[in-house]
Amino acid sequence: MNGDLVVVDDVPGAFAARVVDAFREREGDAFSIALSGGGTARRCYERLAVDGEDAIDWWQVDVYWGDERCVSLEDPDSNYRLGREALLDRVGAANATWPMRCDEGAEPYQLRVGELGRFDVVHLGLGPDGHTASLFPESAALEATSGRLVVINDDPLGHNPHPRMTLTFEGIARAHLVVVTVEGEAKADAMARVAAGDPTAPASRVQGGHVVWLVDPAAASRL
């Protein structure tokens, strides 16, 4: 696997600490983070809202998303809605937010990410099938051509509903820091496949300036 695997009892706390450190160590005034979705992500953002309240100047933070379901931004399945409820509404505001809008297609987000250049932090999760962001096993996005940072994708195996917009591996690799958070026994098989470098687990292909896997003991139980 790419990066450092760190087994921690408190994944949300470890995530918040990594983001706070990245903010303190940033180059210049601006700071960019791409958010994820799912239950672990929600817990991570709720913790970051608390631990980062005084440590992060949110008016210097630009918020992006690493992937999004092609639903209304107010839909309960929306990653934007999750990030707003768990983090943005709690910290008050950010300098800018850049939700993914599937109805516009991938190109506007592709251009926005290209203009940004580098993310300070990209946050990812891990699915039981080994996917990360919306890069699903056997899906077209795994073979995105060079220079493609954002694509529309879906799960050809039918395990994950809704078409998606997602960063590609090349888009993720533009991060100075990639933090992958993994919790629970249900993720143990996928985590073991990733750690072994199983190419059928898309998350095993994640790269970035520095990749850190924050994994709880249950998810690490088969390593």
Q: Cα 32 vs. chain centroid, distance in angstroms?
A: 12
CB count in 10 Å sphere of residue 96: 12
d(CA 17, CA 190): 25
| pLDDT score, position 1 | 85
Are 130 and 198 a contacting pair, CB within 8 Å? yes
The string over 48-69, giving b where at least 16 C-beta atoms fall within 10 Å of a residue's C-beta and e elsewhere, is bbebbeeebebeebbbbbbbbb
The string over 169-198, giving b where at least 16 C-beta atoms fall within 10 Å of a residue's C-beta and e elsewhere, is bbbbbbbbbbbbbbbbeebbbbbbbbbeee
Please name the CATH architecture into which domain 4-162+182-215 falls: 3-Layer(aba) Sandwich (3.40)
Helices (H) and strands (E) in the chain, counts: 7, 10
Domain ranges within the chain, ordered by starting residue: 4-162+182-215
d(CA 122, CA 208): 9
What tens-digit pLDDT sequence spans the chain (223 residues)? 899 999 999 999 999 999 999 999 999 999 999 999 999 999 999 999 999 999 999 999 999 999 999 999 999 999 999 999 999 999 998 999 999 999 999 999 999 999 999 999 999 999 999 999 999 999 999 999 999 999 999 999 999 999 999 999 999 999 999 999 999 999 999 999 999 999 999 999 999 999 999 999 999 999 9
**Which residues are within 8 A (CB) of 189 and not within 5 positions of it... i.e. 6 or more apart?**
128, 222
Q: What is the 3-state secondary structure (H, E, C) of 160-216?
A: CCCCEEEECHHHHCCEEEEEEEECCHHHHHHHHHHHCCCCCCHHHHCCCCEEEEEEC
pTM attached to this predicted model = 0.97
| pLDDT score, position 55 | 96
Strand residue runs (E) in the chain: 4-7, 31-35, 61-65, 67-69, 96-97, 119-124, 150-153, 164-167, 175-182, 210-215
Which residue's structure tokens are 């949300």?
Answer: 12
11-24 and 39-51 helices, crossing angle to 10°: 50
Closest by CA to 163, choosing from 132, 139, 192, is: 139
